[in-house]
Amino acid sequence: MPPRSPYDDLVHPRTVKKPSPQVEAERDLVVEDPSSGFVGAVVRCEKDVVHLEDRRGRVRAYPLGPGFWVEGRPVVLVRPKPVAPAGPARSASGSTYVAGARARVAREGRIYVEGKHDAELVEKVWGHDLRIEGVVVEPLHGVDDLPGIVREFRPSSGRRLGVLVDHLVTGSKETRIAQQITGEHALVVGHPFIDIWQAVKPSVVGITTWPTVPKGEDWKGGVCRRLGWEDDTGYVWAQRILARVRTWTDLEPALIGRVEELIDFVTTD
């Protein structure tokens, strides 16, 4: 046997197999599975699985990893990296979203709204802002209870009270009560809608306009009857109306301005 040469361990460059490059499985990337001949575009990518759709609309799922071709070359498909937002994230109210912020200890100031549905709508759209500012929103049981609530609350500097009232129009009972209460440390504002439902844009709930209900007839029940909705107003509110509200743009400006005004008022020391 001839003596071993130091060149015996050298390998010809063509015999070295280069690892396949990693390619992110981004949407619309055209990928081929050479084992089956299936070619399709990426339609979605989950934790460990990529879904491909061919030109006939057939969708197949494959585990991420090696064994794919892109543009005729073998690749290793990997999950796409999360894309950082281009600008500051926005809350449902349109304000800058403060990620990871803890709710501030509640202020002594409060905002009262006229009912449960009002409170739920304000929470859904302005909830992030309210927690950052430490403002609590509570529902009234009726505007007639407002004078007693104000006397018990005793508004003062650093303990401001804001109130949102439905159907605050000239000459109404609500307007007369609001005028008695509004002062340096208490503010009553209102919107012109008969009920908070009307503050949601009709297009958001799939209608052209809110129906006209004659005076003396229960408004919510009358709306449901005229639109052919369920007779359970709680269900209608939760599923047909509130569930479709995403951001402040789904609401009428007459409500948006009043809520913003109250938040500013109670957070001003």
CB 160 within 8 A of CB 109: yes
Q: How far is CA 182 from the centre of its chain?
A: 33
Name the most confidently modeled range: 87-101, 105-119, 129-143, 230-244: 230-244
Top-confidence residue, 44 or 5: 44
Q: Return the closest-CA partner of residue 68 out of 121, 101, 134, 23.
A: 23
- Taking domain 18-78, whether its CATH number is 2.60.40 is answered by no
- Does residue 230 register a pLDDT over 90? yes
Count of Cβ atoms closer than 10 Å to residue 193 Cβ: 19
Percent of all residues in the chain with a pLDDT value above 90, rounded to a whole number: 48
CB 110 within 8 A of CB 162: yes
CB 34 within 8 A of CB 66: no
CATH of domain 110-200+245-266: 3.40.50
β-sheet bridge partners, residue 62? 50
Stretch 230-243: mean pLDDT, rounded? 95
Stretch 47-53: mean pLDDT, rounded? 88
Q: Supply the angle between the helices 253-266 and 116-133 in degrees, to the nearest 10.
A: 50
Stretch 33-59: mean pLDDT, rounded? 88
β-sheet bridge partners, residue 186? 161
CB 168 within 8 A of CB 193: no
Least confident of 29-33, 81-85, 252-256: 81-85
Least confident of 131-135, 169-173, 233-237: 169-173
Count of Cβ atoms closer than 10 Å to residue 91 Cβ: 17
Top-confidence residue, 137 or 84: 137
Amino acid at 2: P
Stretch 7-19: mean pLDDT, rounded? 58
Question: Looking at residue 222, what is its pLDDT?
Answer: 96
**What is the full DSSP assignment across 100-121?**
TPPPPPPPS-EEEESSHHHHHH
Dig out the tokens for 74 from the structure: 């073998």
**pLDDT bracket for residue 261 (50, 70, 90):** very high
Q: What is the pLDDT of residues 173-223, one digit of tens each?
A: 778 878 887 888 889 888 889 999 999 999 999 999 999 999 999 999 999
CA distance 104 to 102: 6
CA distance readout (Å), 200 to 129, 196, 240, 247: 20, 7, 11, 11
CB 98 within 8 A of CB 126: no
Q: Where are the alpha helices (DSSP H) in the chain?
A: 116-133, 146-153, 173-181, 219-227, 233-235, 253-266
CA distance readout (Å), 11 to 3, 7, 18, 143, 223: 19, 9, 14, 89, 83
Question: Looking at residue 101, what is its pLDDT?
Answer: 64
Top-confidence residue, 47 or 101: 47
Question: Looking at residue 177, what is its pLDDT?
Answer: 79
Question: Looking at residue 254, what is its pLDDT?
Answer: 93
In the chain, CATH 3.40.50 covers 110-200+245-266
Percent of all residues in the chain with a pLDDT value above 70, rounded to a whole number: 87
- Does residue 86 register a pLDDT over 90? no
Stretch 42-50: mean pLDDT, rounded? 87
**pLDDT bracket for residue 118 (50, 70, 90):** very high
Q: What is the pLDDT of residues 134-169, one digit of tens each?
A: 888 988 877 777 888 888 889 888 889 999 988 877
Residue that is written with structure tokens 């061919």 in the block: 54
Long-range contacts of 82-91 (CB under 8 A, 24+ apart): 90/247, 91/128, 91/129
CA distance 50 to 255: 45
- Does residue 241 register a pLDDT over 80? yes
